[in-house]
Chain A
Amino acid sequence: MVRRQPTDPPPIDLLASVQGEVSWFCCGTAWGPCSTTGKGACGTCNSGSLQHAWPNTSDACWAITHPDTCGFNLSRRTCGFQHRITALCSGTSVVTAIADCGPQTDLFCGEKSCCGATCASNRLIDLTPAAYSKIASLSAGLRPCEISTP
């Protein structure tokens, strides 16, 4: 497990918004391959609610997602904490609450998604279908975004 040392820079999203990739995932009662997903790390996750997964909800979560591998020292945010996610393609935003741990940032290190000349790298957040569909089409499975606090 990786712990921050006193000399490390502060987590970036304490100081300013951060840009990365956003995708969507299903949770809660569901159909198809999602039917076995469950209610997430917080026990409240539901595809129809305005929620998201965050890579640093606990030590155990961080040990799975490891955004530091991609150079991100994201702040610890726990269940219910709210973020504003703005789609860089459309400029539309949605405010959602943490309901799960994820995405597994380290498995997609360096990945970049773009719309036109607007790009962002690394998977930092996953939205429920209800939340993602407020800012992009579900058929666009990956988009650049900006993450901030509301």
Chain B
Amino acid sequence: MTSRRQMLKSALLGGGASVVAATALGSLGPEAAFATAGAPEVEPGTVDPNFAEGRIRSIKDNTLLVLGSNMVFHNIRVVDGTSLWKLGPVPFEQAKPGDGLYARGVRMPDGVLAAEAVWLNIVNIKGHIKNITSDKIHLDHNGQEVLCHVVPGKSVAVHSESPPSADLSMLRVSQHVQILGAWRPDTNEVDIATVFSPH
């Protein structure tokens, strides 16, 4: 059986495989994208070469030129089967210079990262609620205030094992939460995807 990683390699190495590979890879829903069979093991504690983080400096064709926070450049190739997330699944056109990202894929011999998944501006922060209104949560995150925006149709709250709910009215000032969302570049503001609440 052909693994996802083999398909990604095929997509990048040409031979007319790219579109076929992308189709065969399927919709690449977030939970489906993590079959890493055949990948060489990475030593625990060390940098994973099949992962990249940083901010997009430029975009050319289907390649993101990303400057890592450690000042290392990454060329990240997006193929038809790559899943992109920016407050939800988005098309490639939603990737913009200035966006922060995390990407997982397959590092090719030429150093290009063939992306299985790219998460644009994703943040996952914990803190306590300083204030809350119908459309904003003021979160104290490690002593810094992060202004978190409720996005109609996108933002949900998860109260322990309960199913996600668009009703955020049960959240309370001073309680601890985890907010997963999309950072608005160069601000202290985040659009909310999910608020995880223990109660």
Determine if B76 is an interface residue (Cβ-Cβ < 8 Å).
no
Contact A32 B44 (CB under 8 A): no
Contact A129 B51 (CB under 8 A): yes
CA separation between A75 and B104, bound complex, in Å?
A: 32
Determine if A28 is an interface residue (Cβ-Cβ < 8 Å).
yes
Q: From residue A45, how far is it (CB to closest CB) to chain B in Å?
A: 10
Q: List 13 A-B contacts (CB under 8 A).
A: A31-B55, A32-B183, A48-B70, A49-B46, A50-B44, A90-B31, A104-B126, A108-B178, A109-B198, A110-B198, A130-B104, A137-B117, A139-B180
A26, A29, A30, A138: which has the most chain B beta carbons within 10 Å? A138
Question: Which of A95, A134, A150 meets B104, CB within 8 Å?
Answer: A134
Interface size class of B (residues with CB under 8 A): 35 or more
Q: From residue B88, how far is it (CB to closest CB) to chain A in Å?
A: 8
Contact B141 A107 (CB under 8 A): no
Q: Across the interface, which residues of B come within 8 angstroms of A24, CB to CB? A: 124
- Given A28-B70, A36-B142, A46-B47, are A141 and B34 also a contact pair (CB < 8 Å)? no
6 pairs of A and B residues whose beta carbons are closest in the complex: A137-B30, A97-B45, A111-B198, A141-B180, A29-B69, A31-B100
Determine if B121 is an interface residue (Cβ-Cβ < 8 Å).
yes
Which B30-47 residues have C-beta < 8 A from chain A? 30-31, 33-36, 42-47
Contact A107 B198 (CB under 8 A): yes
Q: Kindly specify which of B1-9, B13-21, B57-65, B188-196 makes contact with the partner chain.
A: B188-196
Question: Which of A107, A114, A133 meets B51, CB within 8 Å?
Answer: A133
Interface majority SS (helix, strand, loop, mixed), chain B: strand
Contact B124 A49 (CB under 8 A): no
Q: Across the interface, which residues of A come within 8 angstroms of B185, CB to CB? A: 32
Determine if B146 is an interface residue (Cβ-Cβ < 8 Å).
yes
- Given A110-B198, A138-B102, A139-B180, are A97 and B44 also a contact pair (CB < 8 Å)? yes
Write the chain B residue with the least CB distance to A115.
B31
Determine if B54 is an interface residue (Cβ-Cβ < 8 Å).
yes
Contact B146 A33 (CB under 8 A): yes
Q: Across the interface, which residues of B come within 8 angstroms of A50, CB to CB? A: 42-46, 48
Interface residues as binary, A101-122 with B (CB distance below 8 Å gives 1, 0 otherwise) = 0011001111111100001000
Write the chain A residue with the least CB distance to B67.
A31
Determine if A51 is an interface residue (Cβ-Cβ < 8 Å).
yes
CA separation between A90 and B36, bound complex, in Å?
A: 12
Interface residues as binary, B58-88 with A (CB distance below 8 Å gives 1, 0 otherwise) = 0000000000111000000000000001000
Contact A133 B102 (CB under 8 A): yes
Contact B161 A47 (CB under 8 A): no
Inter-chain pairs besides A82-B44, A92-B34, A96-B45, 7 sampled, C-beta below 8 Å: A35-B69, A47-B102, A48-B52, A49-B48, A97-B44, A119-B161, A138-B102
Determine if A54 is an interface residue (Cβ-Cβ < 8 Å).
no
Contact B69 A107 (CB under 8 A): no
Q: Across the interface, which residues of A come within 8 angstroms of B46, CB to CB? A: 49-50
Write the chain A residue with the least CB distance to B86.
A139
Q: Across the interface, which residues of A come within 8 angstroms of B30, CB to CB? A: 136-137, 139-140
B48, B119, B122, B185: which has the most chain A beta carbons within 10 Å? B48
CA separation between A105 and B117, bound complex, in Å?
A: 29
Determine if A25 is an interface residue (Cβ-Cβ < 8 Å).
yes
